[in-house]
Amino acid sequence: MGAPGYMLFNLYTLLFSCGCVLMGFIDRLREDIGVLKRRRNAIILAHNYMPPEVQDIADYVGDSLELAKKALETSADVIVFAGVSFMADIAAILNPDKIVLHPEPCSRCVLADMLTKDHVMRAREEYPGAPLVLYINSPTELKVYADHIVTSSSASKLVSKLDNETILFGPDRNLADHVARETGKEVVAVPPHGNCPVHQYLLGEYHVRRALEEHPGAKLIVHPETPSSVRGMADYIGSTSQMLKAIGSIEASEYLIGTEEGLVYRARKLYPDKKIYPVNPQAICIDMKKINLLNIRCSLENLKPRVEIDPVVARRVREVMEESLRIIGG
């Protein structure tokens, strides 16, 4: 074997060895997590956008509303929340007597952080009497000012049941526009510029048209956080879990998923016989991907970092969420 061939052989051998070591490390992490879960009487709740290896070890995978309900139903002593910070906060608010762990506190939501107290106060002054409906993707400390709290799957349903014709809605402007179109009401976006960068910029009209050219005839299923031009092209609009259900009910040869790419992994697991593609495989929420097997294991091992919410804030937010669930019949 010549020098170039020998070097290439050594490179392949090294890569194969590294792959084997990595797989062994991942298997060990899975085993450790299983042992620690039993020891701590813990469950792992994971959002649909989590990396595949995290989805695979989770007890429940779902959207924000589904995971909130699972958090309420669990008899576990410890809840590990694999999602961004506001989601872990909700689990802690709904379970004040349990230990709630968020493996990576730096896993935050850019959209949620676009809303400030000043935005809320100014909107209240400009539209006195209009109810404030806050998307669950909002800062916990600002949810205390909300009249109602919704998820992407419940927003239109709740707003349609309100007597008011003008609604303040924050912080996602695209979801606000979707709710307005669905209900026929004036829905004022608070703030006017609020958006999820993944849905706004990585799943725009250009990406959709390119994906449809590559997959002509595919059914386009998108999240309501996408721009109006994209929603106007869609065959179905819904939350991540609603999108999954739509794949099962809409007949097609191929499906294009217009949301964070993590949902495609879940969709392919649920429907192994269907051809499912992301609109843009680069539509990645970096914050969601900060949660991994290693920090989940460390979290369970040390029972840290714990999510702790001011009791006064938690009580108020819990009351608003419970009333909102009552209105939508949840």
CA 27 to mean position of chain CA atoms: 26
CB atoms < 10 A from the CB of 325, how many? 19
Q: Contact, 286 vs 48, CB < 8 A?
A: no
pLDDT at residue number 12: 45
CA distances to 33, 215, 241, 260, 282 from 277, in Å: 31, 9, 16, 12, 12
CA distances to 74, 148, 161, 178, 319 from 165, in Å: 38, 15, 10, 15, 24
Residue of 304, 319, 289, 273 lying closest to 83 (CA atoms): 289
CA distances to 39, 100, 102, 104 from 78, in Å: 10, 6, 11, 16
pLDDT at residue number 184: 98
Q: Give the DSSP per-residue string, 6-52.
A: HHHHHHHHHHHHHHHHHHHHHHHHHHHHHHHHHHHTEEEEEETTS-H
Mean pLDDT for 167-181 is 98
Give tens-digit pLDDT for 48-101.
Answer: 999 999 999 999 999 988 898 898 899 999 999 999 999 999 999 999 999 999
What is the DSSP pairing of strand 60-62 with strand 186-189?
A: unpaired
Same fold, 112-195 and 203-283: yes
Task: Categorize the per-residue pLDDT at 25 as very low, low, confident or very high, splitting at 50, 70 and 90.
Answer: confident
Give tens-digit pLDDT for 285-302.
Answer: 999 999 999 999 999 999
Q: Contact, 208 vs 220, CB < 8 A?
A: yes
| H or E stretch covering 60 | strand 60-62
Domain range summary for the chain, segments of one domain joined by +: 3-108+289-302, 112-195, 203-283
Distance CA 329, CA 226 (A): 26
Instruction: Assign domain 203-283 to its CATH superfamily.
Output: NadA-like (3.40.50.10800)
How many CA atoms lie less than 13 Å away from 235 in the CB half-sphere? 17
- Give the list of residues 6+ apart from residue 323 with CB closer than 8 angstroms, or none: 148
Domain 3-108+289-302 belongs in CATH node 1.20.1560.10: no
Distance CA 244, CA 62 (A): 10
Distance CA 45, CA 57 (A): 9
pLDDT at residue number 72: 85
pLDDT at residue number 2: 47
Residue 10 pLDDT exceeds 60: no
Q: Contact, 124 vs 132, CB < 8 A?
A: yes
pLDDT cut 70: percent of the chain above it: 93
Residue 14 pLDDT exceeds 90: no
Mean pLDDT for 196-218 is 97
Give tens-digit pLDDT for 93-146.
Answer: 999 999 999 999 999 999 999 999 999 999 999 999 999 999 999 999 999 999
Distance CA 146, CA 133 (A): 6
Give the strand order in the sheet containing 219-222. 236-237, 219-222, 254-258, 275-278
pLDDT at residue number 7: 43
Higher-confidence position of 92 and 26: 92
Please report where in the chains the tokens 């649920």 appear, as a residue: 270
Mean pLDDT for 11-36 is 69
Please report where in the chains the tokens 């970092």 appear, as a residue: 305
The hierarchical CATH code for the domain 112-195 is 3.40.50.10800
Residue type, 134: L
pLDDT at residue number 22: 61
Secondary structure of residue 242 in the 3-state scheme: helix
Q: Contact, 90 vs 311, CB < 8 A?
A: no
Give tens-digit pLDDT for 300-318.
Answer: 999 999 999 999 999 999 9
